[in-house]
Copies of this chain bind each other. A is one copy, B any other.
Amino acid sequence: MPSHHGTSSRSSLPLWQDDDGGSHASNSPTAMNSENFTLSEKTVPASYVRQASEARRGHERLIGRLLEQGKCPAEGWSEATVELFLNELAVMDSNNFLGNCGVGEREGRVASDIVARRHYRLSHGIGRSGDIAAVQPKAAGSSLLNKLTNSLALDVLKMAGVRSVKSCFVVPMATGMSLTLCFLTLRQRRPKARYVIWPRIDQKSCFKAMVTAGFVPVVVENVLEGDELRTDVEAAERQICRLGAESVLCVHSTTSCFAPRVPDRLAELAVLCAKYDLPHIVNNAYGVQSSKCMHLIQEGARVGRVDAFVQSLDKNFLVPVGGAIIAGFDEAFVEEISKTYPGRASASPSLDLLVTLLTLGAGGYKKLLSDRKGGAAGQGADHRRARVSRVYVALRVLPVPLPQRGGRRGRHPRGRGAVRQTAGQVPQDAAEGGKCG
């Protein structure tokens, strides 16, 4: 069985994990500020300038530590330090090089001052045509921003409970489209696969993520245990056996959800994936703020197989809508996903995440998580009824035919809302193949 782990040389993702730190160059650019501080002494007494330059070193040390460790700082930075840093990044990009305004197609030109300012003059986006996580020759500042943000995101995912996560990157797409990207990446590994095994969760965009990628979602209905709707792991295995593992793209599980649905039995699904050599993609949309969701992913990766887990930026990190983090336990696979994105991409969600994490610091982020824990509990109750009915209605109108559920009708407590499915899509004889017996 071929490993899903590649052997890529990984030159493009963050290097902060490495302990040997790389080139501690002495080909350093010259000590600019020291010259300018000295010039300041013509005007302001040397002792005041010395104190001020000491103070600047304070900010620089923070930035230096960030660059060295690639980790979310323990304490949040002041807005002054954050903006100082963003300005430093901006002057590293070629659109802000002085005397660089000749004719022709200069990269990164921006027509509106309002727009230039709101992006802190960082206009090159992230990535290259080949890889959304790659560095750009003309945009060292934007590239650093991109790498740093990914590195801090990795740090926060570990901190939030998925300690063995190996690699991740921020994409300027919402969770649904990011899941689509994961499925499209897997297609290249599993060209014969047509189905995605999907324990039912009534969120329209998750469903669309599979359909848009061109796959047929195989809905596995949940079972009612007490008050809760829980994953029917046996039913999932039956579907895999029925369809044949090679025609299954992956198992697509979910952590964060609303009652009565509870998070999927992730560990058991992960074991199933390992058993059948199936990829496992986890929709962890709002799960970073939940220690339970994060623990499930960590546990899944420990006992079985989890290839990637995807989380939204907005609710988890309180930034504007439109970004996600794609993370995984195998650097090569995560890199493969990042290389599937065709072209450069907006740096805006990365910038928002970086600023937010620097401003909050690890401490502030933990506090935010614990503050929301209380709120989320109460809210769960509030949303219970509203959500369930709303999404059932939503799913009912889906235009795409779903494969038959194999006679499990009526198990669902709200059977009236069950999705109509056409049987013809799924070959009945597919169940004969694989290890199933």
Contact = CB atoms under 8 A, between A and B. Distances in A.
Nearest to A174: B343
Contacts of A93: 52
Interface string A301-343: 0000000000000110111111100000000000000001111
Interface string A140-169: 110110011000000000000000000000
Tallying the copies of this chain within the complex gives 4
A247 interface: no
Nearest to A90: B80
B46 A25 contact: yes
A360 interface: yes
Interface stretch (A117-125, A273-281, A426-434): A117-125
Main secondary structure of the interface of A (DSSP, over half): helix
A345 B322 contact: yes
B36 A63 contact: yes
Interface size class of A (residues with CB under 8 A): 35 or more
A28 interface: yes
Interface in A1-28: 14-16, 18, 21-28
Nearest to A45: B135
Nearest to A104: B379
Given A16-B43, A33-B60, A130-B208, 14 more contacts: A29-B54, A35-B64, A40-B144, A44-B135, A48-B143, A111-B368, A118-B118, A173-B173, A205-B344, A206-B342, A208-B343, A209-B342, A212-B341, A321-B344
A68 interface: yes
A74 interface: no
Contact of A32 (B56, B70, B108, B205): B56
A239 interface: no
Contacts of A174: 125, 342-346
Interface in A343-363: 343-349, 352, 355-356, 359-360
Interface stretch (A94-102, A229-237, A264-272, A412-420): A94-102
